[in-house]
Amino acid sequence: MNKINFYHSLIFFNACIFLSAFEYLKNNNLLIFSLFLILSLGISHGALDHIKGQKLVKLLNYKSTISFYILYIFIGLSIIFLWLLFPKILLLAFLIVASYHFGKEDTEFISYRSNQDLIYFFKGSLVITAPLLFHKAETLEIFNNLNFDISQSFFISDEILCLSIIISFFANIFISSNKQIEIKSILIMDFISILLLNYFLSPILAFTIYFCFLHSIRHSFKLSNELNKNNFIKGFKEFIIKAMPLTILTAILFLIFLFFLKNYYFLDSAISKVIFIGLASLTFPHILLEYLIEKYEQA
């Protein structure tokens, strides 16, 4: 798997260099294109949560999986409802949880250590701090669109953002310490790739490319390997088949919400809300599920 992840990071790194040369991409959000990628490649990496849910039910010695589905859907809908009531608190919580999630899952090919949770958070925080440093006005506009006027709530200086990025770099170094040069190279290439994307491209497009082609694909590789440890290609095909139904269902729900929201907001604003609030509603139950499986497997 380390070789697969190395070549994946290498291809992604070169693709980021290639994309940064296009002037058209620098000046356009391509929101509809971003939404399409997130609804296809992006959300697919969590489309096996129903299988993981069945695994968790067995670990807890329950006979029925209905309770899992009800709880999973309830958490997702609760996030949307709470976001409408407390957008500032939910956005902050989402950014914190997402930073940890990105840091941990992007390095899940390295053995997980529970005492490194803060390190994973600092590593993943690059996805949040890089757009704030390079495109602060555009990023704050996205936050404002999500009902969180962060510019008035507190001021983040460029010095603090630079320090956060430096800390994220050293978090990568710490995670890869005493590891093979192949693993060190993966983390360094990923770090530079995220910086390149956010320096040259708009925040939403940069996030979309990272989320779909680095974060999502890497997690999909892990799931494919778990499905078939002897033949990765067969495992990947099996993953696509098993992930497709839930991916399609989730995409349809996203589009239904978009159709509803565009009656009250401009299309760009509606798409931004669907992307980030929708991802938040999926991320919280997804992370909770991963945490519970890890906890009860180690028990």
Average pLDDT over residues 33-41: 90
The pLDDT value given to residue 108: 83
21, part of any domain: no
Model confidence, pTM: 0.90
104 class by beta-carbon count within 10 Å (0-12 exposed, 13-18 middle, 19+ buried): buried
Query: From the CA atom positions of the chain, what is the Rg in Å?
Result: 19
Contacts 24+ apart (CB under 8 A), 196-199: 196/16, 196/17, 196/20, 197/16, 197/19, 197/20, 197/130, 198/130, 198/131, 198/133, 198/134, 198/135, 199/20, 199/130, 199/134
Token code pair at residue 241:
């088949």
- Mean pLDDT is lowest, of 19-23, 149-153, 261-265, 295-299, for 149-153
98, part of any domain: yes
**For residue 173, what are the domain limits?**
2-12+29-293
Cβ atoms of residues 41 and 212 within 8 Å: yes
Q: Tell me the helix, strand and coil percentages in the chain, rounded to 5.
A: 80, 0, 20
Domain count of the fold of the chain: 1
220, part of any domain: yes
Q: Report the chain's mean pLDDT, rounded to a whole number.
A: 87
Question: Which pLDDT tens digit goes with each residue over 204-214?
Answer: 999 999 999 99
Average pLDDT over residues 53-78: 84
The residue assigned the tokens 């919280």 is 284
71, part of any domain: yes
Question: Which pLDDT tens digit goes with each residue over 157-180?
Answer: 888 999 999 999 999 999 988 888
Residue 20, helix vs strand vs coil: coil
Q: DSSP assignment, residue 155?
A: -
Q: pLDDT band for position 134 (50/70/90)? A: very high
The pLDDT value given to residue 112: 61
24, part of any domain: no
List all residues 6 or more positions away from 163 whose beta carbon is below 8 Å from its beta carbon: none
Q: What sections of 30-135 are H helices per DSSP?
A: 31-37, 43-44, 49-59, 66-85, 87-105, 117-124, 126-134
**Please, how many CA atoms are within 13 Å of residue 130, restricted to the half-sphere of its CB?**
26
Question: Which pLDDT tens digit goes with each residue over 79-132?
Answer: 989 988 888 888 888 999 999 999 998 998 887 666 788 999 999 999 999 999
23, part of any domain: no
154, part of any domain: yes
Q: Is pLDDT at 153 greater than 70 in this prediction?
A: no
85, part of any domain: yes
